[in-house]
Structure 1
Amino acid sequence: MTAPIVVAGGSRAALRRNFRRGVWRVLRRKPSRMLGVVILIGFAFMGAVGPLLYPERLPRDDDALYAPPSWEHPFGTDFEGTDVLALVVTGSRYVLMTALVTALITVVLGTAIGLFAGFRRGRWDSVLMRITDMKLTIPALPLLLVLSTVWKFESAVEMGLVLGLLGWGGVARAVRAQSLSLRERGFVEAARGLGLPTTHIIGRELLPSMAPFIAMNMLIAVTGAVYAQVGLFFLGVLPFEANNWGVMLNLSVFGGGALTSTAALPYMMAPLLAILLLTLGIVLVVDAMDEIFNPRLREE
């Protein structure tokens, strides 16, 4: 009685080993993809550990306001004499945590609604898609303007929760389209013929087949969340209750005149370079994932 279990377990272990080897081959084939992985690991480390390397209140030097880049201050200082690199590192936690929470809520909620609507179709599909359509018509910026009058968004989780609840509609629509295609495949028909419950078919048959699509949407959602929150803080829509890259951009442009004076230019360029580097890492990893999960794109 134990032999089939051992064989099945051995088969799953072999599949996992083969998958890891395939991932390593795809990453190694193009050094740029390995660079993307290194960049994302670096940002994850910076967001988790970086702020612990600095005191809670960053030191200021009144004699070095808008100091130019140097060995001591690689990106110069801001209008208070605070090291710009320290501001980028300490502000990364809010930005990255918000992006992660946003991506999780966006993907989980959008995937759940899209899968269920696409698989069940009929009345459930109509109701869920009408809710999705109504959500897509809600303008996010005016809603955030109203919320900012009563909500300070001091916590990255709060910010991520709001952005996630405002951003799941597109994922739900895309996942529904994918599930409508997959539900007609032979393996799903076989599962329905065996009388397996809907939760089993969705969780064990449809969801694994859509894992690559969902994973790539999650990375794309991270990028969108970074742009959204940084843009809102830059425009001054949200109060400056926490240090982050958007606040740095706002203060450098509107307070330091970085667009007209070179003194505050490093203060503006530092968060822009961080955003650009993070986006580059995500793009390179998504390119690798596209080949990992799509056999037709794999090079022999």
Structure 2
Amino acid sequence: MATETDTTSDDIDWRSGSSSVEMSRRDRLKEKYRRLVYEPTVVAWSDTRTRLGILILSVYLLMAAVAVLGLWREPNPNQAGRLIKPFQNWSYPLGTTLSGVDLLALIIDSTPFILLMVVAGGVWATGVAILVGTVSGYKGGTVDTVITSISDFFMAIPGLPLVIVLAITLSPENPILLGLILTINYWAGLGRSIRSQVLSIREASYVEASRTMGTSTPRIIAKDVLPNIMPYVMVNFVLAARYTIFASVGLYFIGVLPYTGQNWGVTLNNAYNQGGLFTMQALHWLLVPIIAIVGLSFGLVLVSQGMDRIFNPRVRTRLTGESESIEEESSTSTTEIM
């Protein structure tokens, strides 16, 4: 009987241990969801600018999905509908070009290419800048000297002539490659700025405490340094993305980049060459891609303005209701003690 009892108790202990492990894993997942999804969503949605920015970017993502799935007509010439003005014929809501091409179809068809290029350029520029700036600023010494010298070398190279030479030499047709070329040395200046931010952060008491506890350098950078510079990084990510948009459209407009497929810069070039700037009849042909460019840039700026609230722990605590629960718990504890 004793043996059976012991076995049963051991079995119960094993099962309870398994249950506690499952509960702890579930709690960890819930904590990650709260920290990475729920809190940022609540904070972002509490800001009118961020809501508007997300709405604008959602329109562009929807257009990209429509283009990828082929849910809208192809931008093909149609002689029966030449230079139709916007909202005059609802079959062509944004009007048509001189050859009868649907302008809305042109914008939709160009959107996936533009978004891929913008993301590639922004991620490349900010990613390299974060790596260079954090390592250089935190490590110091010889590492800082070497990385800073490399950054200075790339900063000394004129950006636009370099991009034009690479564009003519490589004739990039892939949007990701084009984004990398357009921001080939954009990271250098941003890396130096991030380095200056990290130089002040690495002397903070909590960073020093992590070093004293023997925490590894990558973990200190990831846990203590990066969260403090993320608002600055996100703003510069948007600036890099906007730079990519404007640079690509400008180079397509002047004919440096190859005219492969449809692009907002190509549409601007065609509109300008065929009288879009000088005749009221074709003015919409010029304005539609300009509005698309400005709208995407404006949406990115609005979203970036809300990033500071998302990465600010005080704002997150207040808006997610944690501070109220903490105050209630402290007041309850004080009452019980009294």
TM over 0.5: yes
Q: Deviations over 1:160-180 (max 9, x none)?
A: 121232211122112111111
1:251 maps to which of 259, 263, 270: 270
Residue 81 (structure 2) pairs with residue 64 (structure 1): yes
Amino acid of the structure 2 residue aligned with 1:43? Y
The residue aligned with 1:282 is 300
Aligned residues: 299
1:237 maps to which of 244, 256, 280: 256
The residue aligned with 1:138 is 157
Question: How far is 1:7 from its partner?
Answer: 6.5
Kept in 2, the 8 Å contact 1:154–1:242? The answer is: no
Residue 303 (structure 2) pairs with residue 269 (structure 1): no
Higher relative contact order (CA 8 A, sep 6+): 1
Q: 1:285 to 1:126 in 2, by over 3 A?
A: same
Query: Is the radius of gyration larger for structure 1 or structure 2?
Result: 2
Residue 59 (structure 2) pairs with residue 42 (structure 1): yes
Q: 1:203 to 1:288 in 2, by over 3 A?
A: closer
Q: Deviations over 1:135-175 (max 9, x none)?
A: 11211221222223332221101101212322111221121
The residue aligned with 2:138 is 119
**Structure 2 unaligned regions, length at least 5:** 1-16, 320-338
The residue aligned with 1:86 is 105
Q: 1:33 to 1:10 in 2, by over 3 A?
A: same
Question: How far is 1:291 from its partner?
Answer: 2.3
CA distance in 2, matches of 1:43, 1:179: 35
Kept in 2, the 8 Å contact 1:66–1:79? The answer is: yes
Tell which deviates more after alignment, 200-209 or 282-291. 200-209
Question: How far is 1:79 from its partner?
Answer: 2.5
Counterparts of residues 217-236 of structure 1 (less than 5 Å)? 217-236=236-255
Question: How far is 1:57 from its partner?
Answer: 5.3
Residue 72 (structure 2) pairs with residue 17 (structure 1): no
Provide the identity percentage: 32
| Matched position secondary structure for 2:275 | coil
Amino acid of the structure 2 residue aligned with 1:230? V
| Matched position secondary structure for 2:166 | helix
Tell which deviates more after alignment, 78-87 or 29-38. 29-38
Kept in 1, the 8 Å contact 2:56–2:299? The answer is: yes
Tell which deviates more after alignment, 283-292 or 82-91. 283-292
Tell which deviates more after alignment, 40-49 or 274-283. 40-49
Tell which deviates more after alignment, 35-44 or 244-253. 35-44
| Matched position secondary structure for 1:165 | coil
Question: How far is 1:99 from its partner?
Answer: 0.5
Question: How far is 1:15 from its partner?
Answer: 7.0
Q: 1:143 to 1:20 in 2, by over 3 A?
A: closer
**Structure 1 unaligned regions, length at least 5:** none
Residue 182 (structure 2) pairs with residue 163 (structure 1): yes
Kept in 2, the 8 Å contact 1:152–1:241? The answer is: no
> Taking structure 1 as the reference length, what is the TM-score of the superposition?
0.88
Q: 1:282 to 1:148 in 2, by over 3 A?
A: closer
Question: How far is 1:37 from its partner?
Answer: 1.0
